[in-house]
């Protein structure tokens, strides 16, 4: 158990819908990262937050957005969902910006 929690574990929704994935980092970790893992694209870095501020951006679509709240938990919002958004979404956390990342168990999103 890494200490990073993600909810929900599974999510099934329809195209065009909007969903919110939630991540609670390890106690004391200030940095949160979001990743998308799919069969065809592999593991893609989406975005990083540090103490509430966005610090690095990867291959995140404009339909996706994220934020980190004052209690340091983070949410990833996915809107206008498409079939191709079906994937595993992982959250990771670390103490500082440049540090070992600890991954959560992931949220499996299925878009029908």
DSSP letters, 43-110, are EEEEEEEETTEEEEE-S--TTEEEEE-TTS-EEEEE-S--GGG-EEEEEEEESSSSS--EE---EEEE
Residue 34 contacts another protein per CB under 8 A: no
Q: Which one of 8, 58, 77, 83 is in contact with another protein (CB under 8 A)?
A: 58
Residue 97 contacts another protein per CB under 8 A: yes
Q: Which one of 23, 24, 29, 31 is in contact with another protein (CB under 8 A)?
A: 31
Q: Which one of 11, 106, 109, 111 is in contact with another protein (CB under 8 A)?
A: 106
Q: Which one of 21, 25, 29, 90 is in contact with another protein (CB under 8 A)?
A: 90
In whole angstroms, what is the distance from residue 94 CA to residue 98 CA?
A: 8
Q: Let me know: does 105 contact 6? Beta carbons within 8 Å.
A: yes
CB atoms within 10 A of CB 108: 15
The stretch near another protein (CB under 8 A) out of 19-27, 64-72, 74-82, 99-107 is 99-107
Token digits for 42? 């592999």
Q: Which one of 21, 33, 74, 85 is in contact with another protein (CB under 8 A)?
A: 33
The residues binding another protein (CB under 8 A) are 2, 4, 31, 33, 42-45, 48, 50, 54-58, 90, 92, 94, 97-106
């Amino acid at each position: 158990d890494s200490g990073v929690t993600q909810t929900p574990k599974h999510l099934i929704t329809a195209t065009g819908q909007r969903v919110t994935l939630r991540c609670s980092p390890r106690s004391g970790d200030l940095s949160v990262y979001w990743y998308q893992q799919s069969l065809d694209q592999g593991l893609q870095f989406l975005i990083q937050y540090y103490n509430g501020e966005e610090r690095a951006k990867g291959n995140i679509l404009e339909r996706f957005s994220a934020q980190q709240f004052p209690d340091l938990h983070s949410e990833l919002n996915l809107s206008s969902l498409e079939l191709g958004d079906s994937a595993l979404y992982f959250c990771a956390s670390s103490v500082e910006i440049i540090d070992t990342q600890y991954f959560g168990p992931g949220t499996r999103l299925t878009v029908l």
